Chains A and B, each alone.
Chain A
């Protein structure tokens, strides 16, 4: 969970980098689906702009795939509406929705060549033969598959097959392309490469994409906005940076940032900051100014990468480094805080300046990197 950290953040597009295309591509209002007593999707609502890359991120059973399937039309919602452009498609069959879909299992037609696979949706739309040839060639070229047109799907590697599936979904320029964990069946290296490729194609062609994954890093790398889902609810729908830096629930802080949670009580407010007395160490941690009244029991969430080791009198608490693991560019440290039996505080610091096991350290952070959540809300 903590593998991403700094490296992933630096390539994450910020809010302003959204594509120039405007207008609403898809909106979902109060979508609900139950299976027996289980609420798979609970009143999900969102609006997606044209040209936007949106990811549904969540663990299995969070409702992300069900939501996608309802948008695609493979699964009927109990209530709510789905609008593509200005068209209400809630009651339409999948083939009438004019959406693109990329499946995890590629699902290329085995009896057709690569070209025929990509041409298939065009032939359904009565496009002329010359035009089909031109667009298939063009699309295959974008995906780096020129020269593979005559091959059968089984003659291609997994990564190539998924590229063909992507071509097949975008060749007819559907207003929205849905992708259900398209890289889930590929190995890590290929996944990383295809993430960048898909993102580049999406940006270049201004595609509107809804992407489902359980991989936080993948979501952060690719998305303009991410809907973090849990138990059928959208916990937060925001840009990666907002989710990462301003998580609205402890779940989001934990799921995306692998945050450390320090239980404490709000002691006082200053103009710019809120001071929290940490239960375990008795130290004061400075957070961004928060609305909650003094005396409220809170959890202060700080990501491992935003904590720093410092001199013992400078931090909000002190402790002993219990573990320090070198992981390439970073050192991951576990610090036992003095004066309590709280779990190890996890730190990620650049290698070279890292603490050593057994060292006495103080811990400090920027107030901006501390998020406070009232304890009642803890889940």
Chain B
């Protein structure tokens, strides 16, 4: 494409692609554009078409109706609920961890970040099995709790929602910690001293200065872990019971066990739309907050 354009060199000036720099820019962008078209745009549209096609090739909304009724709908709700819980817990723990790390001296902070991030280099499958070993009836956690004579021990920590949330939260934690740590490092600690000099106590400083300043980080970290959890497969499948079937598991079952590509495609599209809705929601909330602040200020 670029080659044919370069042959039209004596084109009138001011035309798009006329300048050498623009032509070079197109050339540089070309590999990326091709890459995205082939590996991103085409699959998405083919999935979309697949989800709208009947067995005989005619248009139908049957697969969407199917995905949004009965067991499929409850799986969808389970997915949303578990993702929300995961987002919440990874936010809370991520906040505590990142906050502690951001107060450390740089060297110790770097070391702590390494400890948080390095486990992420290990395959999720291995980490999930690690959790299964730890959380089982005869696992380290329950053995310790029984040894301490904690009433009710051993607890059921696996193959239920608790197990899934523990697993997914631990998988999301590096993301939230990394994101929040970056935001927290950007907060000028002297601002907190300034607030103290005006008479603000620790709780007020946290609530009115620190929290609003890290809020954008909290929103993006929460959203990220929510979206990642929506499509999470291995951990919920291995650490959950039948009641914790998430949409990714369902899609997998439809494709591998029932060879039902159209239904899987519809669910995939729904998952994609949910993700987009989540993004939109956060954007809406943050812009709403900004406009409200603006109004209250004037």
Contact = CB atoms under 8 A, between A and B. Distances in A.
A72 B193 CA distance: 10
Contacts of A109: 191, 194-195, 209, 213
B298 interface: yes
Contacts of A110: 191, 213
**Which 3 residue pairs of A and B lie closest in terms of their CB atoms, listed nearest first?**
A101-B197, A121-B198, A113-B297
Interface stretch (B122-130, B199-207, B230-238): B199-207
Contacts of B195: 109, 120
Interface stretch (A91-99, A252-260, A286-294): A91-99
A115 interface: yes
Interface in B252-298: 293-294, 297-298
A231 interface: no
Contact of A98 (B191, B199, B208, B298): B199
A124 interface: yes
A119 to B, nearest CB: 10
Nearest to B212: A111
Interface residues of B, number: 21
Contacts of B201: 95
B198 A124 contact: yes
Interface string B162-198: 0000000000000000000000000010110111111
A168 B198 contact: yes
Contacts of B193: 74, 94, 107
A116 B213 CA distance: 15
Contact of B190 (A107, A125, A168): A107
Contacts of A100: 197-198
Contacts of A149: 297-298
A107 B188 contact: yes
Nearest to A98: B199
30 contacts: A74-B193, A74-B197, A94-B193, A94-B197, A99-B197, A100-B197, A101-B194, A101-B197, A105-B188, A107-B188, A107-B193, A109-B194, A109-B195, A109-B209, A110-B213, A111-B213, A115-B297, A116-B297, A120-B195, A120-B200, A120-B208, A121-B199, A121-B200, A124-B198, A124-B199, A124-B200, A150-B298, A168-B198, A169-B198, A172-B199
A94 B197 CA distance: 5
Interface string B97-139: 0000000000000000000000000000000000000000000
Nearest to B294: A150
A251 interface: no
A125 B213 CA distance: 22
Interface of B: 188, 190-191, 193-201, 204, 208-209, 212-213, 293-294, 297-298
**Main SS of the interface on chain B?**
helix
A74 B212 CA distance: 24
A139 to B, nearest CB: 14
Given A111-B213, A116-B297, 19 more contacts: A95-B196, A95-B197, A95-B199, A95-B200, A98-B199, A99-B197, A101-B198, A105-B190, A107-B188, A107-B190, A109-B195, A115-B297, A120-B195, A124-B198, A125-B199, A150-B297, A168-B198, A172-B198, A172-B199
Nearest to A107: B194
A103 interface: yes
Contacts of A120: 195, 198, 200, 208
Nearest to B193: A74
A95 B197 CA distance: 5
A91 to B, nearest CB: 15
A106 to B, nearest CB: 9
A99 B198 CA distance: 7
Contacts of B191: 107, 109-110
Interface string A70-114: 001110000000000000000001111011110101010111010
